[in-house]
Amino acid sequence: MKINKTKDVFGIQRDLPLNYIERAADRILVDSLDRSHHVVIYGSSKQGKTSLRKRNLKENDYIIVHCNNKWDIDQIHSNILKQAGYELTLSKSLTTSGKAKVKATFGWNLFAKAEVEAETEFEKEKEKITKSLDIDTDDVNDIIKALEEIKFNRIIVLEDFHYLKPETQKDFAIALKALHENSNFTFLIVGVWLEENRLIALNGDLSGRVKSVDADTWTQEELNKLIRDGEYLLNVSFNEQTKNKLIAESLQNVYVVQEVCYLICIENGINQTLEGNQFSLDCSKLEVFLDEVVSQHSGRYNKFITSLIEGFQPTELEMYKWILYAILKADDSMLNIGLRRSELNEVIVQKHPRGSDLNQGNLSQALTSIASLQVRSGITPIIIDYDSTLKKINIVDKGFIIWLHNQNLIEILKEANLPID
């Protein structure tokens, strides 16, 4: 019997868990990349988006750019060039808008060095090849030219796309059409949201050019298989009642399931595969461990509530605070499926000092920037996101719903100076 470490099976780790199971998302991702589609992997936080990429792509198949909330389109382009192997310095040339161009110099990068050394087998003298270009990093055509100049052929992964400012997301969606039509480069975009066609909503011309992969959905059958595979790898067993209750109370969140399974194993002294007969685990602390896993994020959840109370700055309408009010008034089932803008508006109008004088535009404006507010407040990953297509907010961190269920909502309402019914 092969001995496996419990931490390599259950729980969250940097590498792929040994009990990784393939889902429909894996098949869609592989098929889409084989057909050279641009791909968007979307879903709630900690639902397996990164594992999906690691499972189906080799490390030398792609480069990764981690997006930043302060970036404009030129900084996305610059970081793509850097990861591709270019060194960037300011040029004396100017763009048409008066900005200094960037001198992009390509010499050695890790991939190029490895390839040349393999070809020469250390028998030929290694020769440094340098390419230098003056480019406008705002201009997608210059980026295409620079990448083609070095015969770049890897997938470009943009992680944490949801951190980007709304206007930068839109600018990139426009640039992606040019990248699709004028080059053979493939992009894999990863973001925390539940909106299937986020990029198409930003630029309708991407319709048919971008394939979306839902990494959020975990069925009860898939989560059961995940636990069963872990049981086999460690030679242990959870009772059926515990498995069903864990999946239900985790709101089918794979992160919570994996972490609680890990804690139950450790509580039973299972640090690695147990030799001999299969061991029946004592699962009596299930509720304790569920609360422990969710409570690890209490600081972030409290900070999120504070950010909504304060907003970007003091305003007369305090719309973010009233969005919080509508969230606190909703039950778990409503939060799990998302709250439509019309539902939010109905709840807010009933108690807001301005009442029916409020218009939907006030609410829409706040909802559109709600992800930016969280990023600016240092709440990462974000907890709620606005789906502009379906006009509803989604809780993209299901742990928040579980956590909220166990909080004193009256105290939160009092702290926010909101009505208590």
- Confidence check: pLDDT of 205 > 90: yes
Q: How many residues in the chain?
A: 421
- Cα gap 225→158, rounded to integer Å: 30
What is the reported pTM? 0.86
Computed on alpha carbons and rounded to an integer, the radius of gyration of the chain in Å comes to 25
Max Cα distance, the chain (Å): 81
The model's pLDDT over 231-241, given as tens digits with 9 standing for 90+, comes to: 999 999 999 99
Look at 90-99, 279-288, 317-326 and tell me which has the smallest mean pLDDT. Answer: 90-99
Q: Is the dihedral of CA 262, 264, 266, 268 positive or negative?
A: negative
| Cα atoms in the 13 Å half-sphere on the side-chain side of 313 | 0
- Residue 199's CB: how many other CB atoms inside 10 A? 25
**pLDDT, position 28:** 95
List all residues 6 or more positions away from 342 whose beta carbon is below 8 Å from its beta carbon: 391
Distances in Å between the Cα of 223 and the Cα atoms of 254, 265, 358 are 7, 17, 44
On the question of a cis peptide bond just before residue 17, with omega within 30 degrees of 0, the verdict is no
- Confidence check: pLDDT of 408 > 60: yes
The model's pLDDT over 213-232, given as tens digits with 9 standing for 90+, comes to: 999 999 999 999 999 999 99
Mean pLDDT over residues 303-331, rounded? 95
* Secondary structure letter of residue 308 according to DSSP: H
Distances in Å between the Cα of 83 and the Cα atoms of 63, 111, 159, 305 are 6, 11, 13, 37
